[in-house]
Amino acid sequence: MSDSAAFFDLDKTIIATSSTLAMGRSFYAAGMIGRRAVVKGAYARLVYHLGQADATKMDRMRDDLARAVTGWEADKVHAVIAEDLLGLIDPLIYDEAAALIESHHAAGREVVIVSSSGDEIVGPIAQLLGADRVVASRMVVEDGRYTGEVAFYAFGPHKADAMREMAASEGWDLADCYAYTDSATDLPMLEAVGHPYAVNPDRALRREAMARGWEVLSFRHPVSLRQRLGRIPVPNRPLAVGIAGAAVVAAAGWRALAHQRRAG
């Protein structure tokens, strides 16, 4: 049992992209979305990388995505992700983040990925990285299909709530824990721990970090896990899924899917 943990945001903190948007072409190839959605998704990806997806936009995108995936078969979503995820994100892991994960493990801390993306995507990425636990968004699945209801949205203060609940369950003192993220929307996540770090921060988070004396880290070297480790890591125990459970992603860029459904 570990007495502390390191909490990592995923997109633009561990990987140099949006984990959700990276899957757009795969869902298109599987016939789940159309070409127009892929093009709009590419634009949304640019907006996301420019740091323009604030809390209001993220909430709207969450709701639009929930409507868009209503009726999707959960097994088909899992199959598409299992087929393509490694090839899509393998070259996009920040070497600096992978080194930090290794150093926290060496220090005896558990590593928890905390992401507004869903566990269908976050869980496999966490396993590739050798992380111990996941907190992610989730939607309701009934009779094998997504209902469109959002059961838990791992965003903003909800991330911090999940971290506190997990810490209480595991006996971790959050004052001894670490957190890493790129976005000002994750201020509650950073405020919850004793060792907060701003990674590739957006402008708002950079201002907060400077005002509060938080260290700012620059991750600039995406690498392939195969190249870095010589093999794809396999955890020596099953990944512990956090409070959020298994879910489809509610993340930036997928508004286009909802627009397409409404147009159709």
Known catalytic residues are 9, 11
E strand or H helix at 24: helix 24-29
Question: Rounded CA gap, 13 and 152, in Å?
Answer: 22
- Give 160's contacts (C-beta < 8 A, 6+ positions apart): 188, 189, 191, 192
Tokens 């979503």 sit at which residue? Answer: 77
Question: Rounded CA gap, 41 and 28, in Å?
Answer: 11
31: left (phi over 0), alpha (psi -120 to 50) or beta: left
Question: Rounded CA gap, 17 and 97, in Å?
Answer: 13
